[in-house]
């Protein structure tokens, strides 16, 4: 049995097969009544949370910084894409992927600026910059009548379907995986371990940091765009510090510097927060309590610093298995 699983884990076809199967399932589930709408809703939420969690993990886990502003990037992506589909090119499902890309691009652009500006700061100072950024974004939307001010954007076409969510989740995980196991990825991890030493060894710290930040904010924006087209209503208050805290909880629950951990953390968080809803306030006692206990016994999260071998590129696994 163990041998079977081991062989399964080593099989290079398993991951593509899973992706194809998942995609087929998503299309079937979307178009045939095998799942009810609520189940679809929860699955889509889980997908969006996986994207959020994995993209924040890039900055907070792999790079070891502490950003608390991820909801801000989500907000940028949500607004940009919602304006795109409600005001610029309304009633056109064909442009939905473009609008998601646009949302991601806007978030990435602002993320790039923020990374440039805050390059000198790090650690807890970066945390505060992202926090201030979050509050500025929320307040900015509240003051722009074009995007509805505090009222937000209404009547967004609910175009976020299961296949699209699955597609973007796979794209996000694939992109982050490839980044993490690239030359830049090593630079990013080196920054986490020791920035000064990394710099001395010739790692291009600045480029690596900015790239990680931009990719992270891009997918934060993509998740926001999907969220906007799932709920079909966004307002500035949807993306506040509480939302950021939720994403942080998912990241550290699942485990830092681990994509499998991000998937797990997001899935657990999504299902538990739906399933524990009847408990009222106790829900938000139980979830953080789990997190605190987990931190005390596994300080890096459930799968912190570990990875499912499926999710590691083939050349890497071979390298690691070599004596």
Partner 1 sequence: MVPKKLFCLSLALSSAFLFGCGQGGTPSVKIGLNAELTGEMPAVGASAKNAAELFVSQINEAGGIEVGEQKLPMELVVGDNGAKADQAAAVAQRLISQENVLVMAGPDASACAIPASEIAESLKCPMISPWSTNPKTTVDSTTGKPKNYVFRACFTDIFEARVLAKFVLNTLNAKTAAALYDVASEAPNAQATLFKEVFEKNGGRMVAFETYTTGDRDFSAQLTKIKAANPEVIFLPTYYNDVPLVIEQAHRLGITAQFVGSDAWSSPEILKLGGAHLEGSYFCNHYSTEIATPVAREFMKAYKDRFGQDPDDVAALTYDAFGLITQAVTRAGKLDREAVRNALASIQKYEGVTGTMQFQPGSGDPIKSAVMLQIKDGKFDWVANAEP
Partner 2 sequence: MIPAVVADFAGTLPDWGVYLAQQSVNALQLGSIYALIALGYSMVYGVLVMINFAHGDLFMLGAFACMLLVAALPWHLPFVVVLLMVMLIIGLLGVLIERIAYRPLRGGPRVSAVITALGCGLIIENLTLVKFPYSQHMPTDLFVSTSFRFAGVTISTLQLLIIGVSAILMVALDFLIQKTRYGMAMRAISFDAGTVPLMGIPANRIISLTFFVGAALGGAAGMLYGLAYPVIAPSMGILVGWKAFIAAVIGGIGSIRGAVLGGFLLGAVEVMVVAYLPSTYRDLISYSLLLIILIFKPYGLLGSPPNVKV
Rule CB under 8 A: which residues touch partner 2?
Answer: 60, 64, 66, 117-118, 120-121, 124-125, 127-129, 131-133, 135-136, 138-140, 142-143, 196-197, 200, 241-242, 245, 248-249, 252, 256, 280-282, 284-285, 287-289, 291-292, 295-296, 299-300
CB under 8 A, 24+ apart: contacts of 284-290: 287/249, 288/249, 290/253
Tell me which of partner 2, partner 1, none is bound by residue 306, counting a contact when its beta carbon lies within the kind-specific cut-off of 5 to 8 angstroms: partner 1
DSSP string covering 147-194, please? GTGGG-B--------HHHHHHHHHHHHHHHHHHHTSHHHHHHHHHHH-
Return the residue of 10, 11, 39, 178 that touches partner 1, per CB under 8 A: 39
CB-facing half-sphere around the CA of 291: CA atoms within 13 A: 21
Task: Determine if 64 is a binding residue for partner 1 (CB under 8 A).
Answer: no
- Distance between CA atoms of 9 and 12, rounded to whole angstroms? 8
Shortest distance, CB of residue 94 to partner 2, whole angstroms?
A: 36
CB-facing half-sphere around the CA of 230: CA atoms within 13 A: 24
Return the residue of 36, 315, 320, 321 that touches partner 1, per CB under 8 A: 36
Per CB under 8 A, which region of 19-27, 159-167, 178-186, 258-266 contacts partner 1? Answer: 258-266
Q: Are 72 and 130 within 8 A, CB to CB?
A: yes
Q: Which of 212, 208, 207 has the alpha carbon at shortest distance from 187? A: 208
Tell me which of partner 1, partner 2, none is bound by residue 315, counting a contact when its beta carbon lies within the kind-specific cut-off of 5 to 8 angstroms: none
* Touching partner 1, residues 124-143 (CB under 8 A): 139, 142
Q: For residues 151 and 314, which CB has a smaller minimum distance to partner 1 in the complex?
A: 151
Q: Which two tokens stand for residue 323?
A: 């004596």
Tell me which of partner 2, partner 1, none is bound by residue 11, counting a contact when its beta carbon lies within the kind-specific cut-off of 5 to 8 angstroms: none
Cβ-proximal residues to 133 (8 Å cutoff; 6+ apart), any chain: 69, 72, 114
Shortest distance, CB of residue 194 to partner 1, whole angstroms?
A: 26
At 153, give phi and psi (nearest 5°): -105, 130
Q: What is the DSSP letter of 286?
A: H
- Distance between CA atoms of 61 and 147, rounded to whole angstroms? 33
Shortest distance, CB of residue 52 to partner 2, whole angstroms?
A: 16
Q: Are 60 and 224 within 8 A, CB to CB?
A: no
Task: Determine if 97 is a binding residue for partner 1 (CB under 8 A).
Answer: no
Shortest distance, CB of residue 174 to partner 2, whole angstroms?
A: 26
Per CB under 8 A, which region of 11-19, 106-114, 152-160, 289-297 contacts partner 1? Answer: 152-160
Asked whether the CA dihedral 179, 247, 131, 153 is positive or negative, the reply is positive
- Distance between CA atoms of 221 and 100, rounded to whole angstroms? 8
Return the residue of 14, 27, 35, 105 that touches partner 1, per CB under 8 A: 35
Total chain residues near partner 1 (CB under 8 A): 50
Task: Determine if 277 is a binding residue for partner 1 (CB under 8 A).
Answer: yes
Q: Which residues bind partner 1 (CB under 8 A)?
A: 2, 5, 9, 35-39, 41-43, 45-46, 86, 90, 139, 142, 149-152, 154-155, 158, 227, 231-238, 260, 263-264, 267-268, 271, 274-275, 277-278, 280-281, 302-303, 306-308
């Amino acid at each position: 049995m163990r041998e079977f699983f081991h062989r399964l884990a080593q099989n290079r076809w398993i991951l593509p097969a899973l992706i194809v199967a998942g995609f087929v399932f998503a299309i079937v589930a979307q178009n045939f009544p095998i799942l009810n709408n609520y189940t679809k809703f929860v699955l889509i939420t889980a997908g969006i949370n996986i994207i959020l969690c994995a993209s924040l993990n890039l900055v907070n886990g792999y790079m070891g910084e502490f950003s608390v502003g991820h909801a801000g990037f989500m907000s940028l992506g949500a607004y940009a894409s919602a304006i795109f589909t409600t005001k610029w090119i309304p009633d056109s499902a064909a442009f939905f992927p473009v609008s998601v890309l646009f949302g991601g691009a806007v978030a990435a652009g602002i993320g790039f600026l923020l990374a440039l500006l805050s390059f000198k700061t790090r650690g807890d100072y970066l945390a505060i910059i992202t926090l201030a950024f979050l509050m500025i974004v929320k307040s900015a939307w509240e003051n722009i009548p074009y995007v509805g001010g505090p009222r937000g954007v209404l009547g967004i076409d609910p175009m976020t379907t299961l296949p699209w969510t699955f597609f973007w989740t796979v794209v996000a995980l694939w992109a982050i995986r490839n980044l993490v196991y690239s030359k830049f990825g090593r630079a990013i991890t080196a920054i986490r371990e020791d920035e000064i030493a990394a710099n001395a060894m010739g790692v291009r710290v600045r480029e690596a940091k900015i790239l990680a930040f931009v990719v992270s904010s891009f997918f934060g924006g993509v998740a926001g765009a999907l969220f906007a087209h799932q709920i079909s209503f966004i307002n500035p208050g949807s993306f506040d510090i509480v939302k950021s805290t939720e994403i942080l909880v998912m990241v550290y629950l699942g485990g830092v510097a681990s994509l499998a951990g991000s998937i797990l953390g997001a899935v657990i968080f999504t299902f538990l927060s739906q399933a524990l809803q009847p408990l009222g306030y106790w829900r938000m006692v139980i979830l953080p309590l789990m997190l605190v206990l987990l931190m005390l016994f596994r300080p890096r999260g459930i799968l912190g610093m570990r990875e499912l071998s499926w999710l590691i590129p083939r050349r890497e696994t071979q390298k690691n298995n070599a004596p």
